[in-house]
């Protein structure tokens, strides 16, 4: 099952992400994919804002993981520059740390992802509009999608 949403601008993308946060739960895994500049970090900014995180959210491209303190911890991963195995990075440990995990370029580690997760594919339609396709894996993620759409 997939759900499709069209956002008309960056503000709508942020508001959509904030709706996800309103249904947050510990160990929530959100996997983002889309071309460069499609809005993956913008989506993460919306989640962070709703978690009460005041820090500026930037893509952790060179550090791979940034941690933020909020209502729940936010673990923001950007795997664009990941080369090789993730075994020594400890990424999988974050899946059970009780926070919200947002993974940009998640398809690069598909074989390591938890069975239950929410995959979000962001496609650029034009300069402002984005097609956001939600694909839940597991009942709690189906329920999440149903509650916000």
Q: Over 90: is that where the pLDDT of 83 sits?
A: no
What CATH number did the domain enclosing 62 receive?
3.40.50.300
Cβ neighbours, 10 Å, residue 103: 28
Residue listed under structure tokens 């899946």: 95
Q: How many domains are there within the chain?
A: 1
What's the whole-number average pLDDT of the chain? 91
CA neighbor of 109 nearest in space, from 48, 45, 29: 29
Q: What is the pLDDT of residues 84-141, one digit of tens each?
A: 566 667 788 999 999 999 999 999 888 889 999 999 999 999 999 999 999 999 999 9
**Which tens digits make up the pLDDT trace of 58-79?**
887 677 889 999 999 999 999 8
CA max distance for the chain: 40
């Amino acid at each position: 099952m997939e759900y499709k949403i069209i956002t008309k601008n960056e503000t709508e993308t942020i508001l959509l992400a904030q709706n996800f946060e309103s249904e947050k739960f510990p160990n929530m895994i959100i996997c983002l994919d889309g071309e460069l500049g499609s809005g993956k970090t913008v989506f993460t900014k919306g989640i962070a804002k709703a978690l009460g995180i005041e820090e500026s959210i930037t893509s952790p491209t060179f550090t791979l993981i940034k941690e933020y303190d909020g209502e729940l911890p936010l673990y923001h991963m950007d795997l664009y520059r990941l080369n090789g195995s993730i075994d020594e990075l400890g990424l999988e440990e974050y899946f059970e740390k009780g926070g919200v995990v947002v993974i940009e370029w998640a398809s690069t580690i598909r074989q390591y992802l938890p069975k239950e997760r929410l995959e979000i594919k962001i496609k650029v339609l034009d300069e402002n509009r984005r097609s956001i396709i939600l694909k839940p894996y597991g009942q709690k993620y189906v329920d999440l999608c149903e509650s916000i759409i």
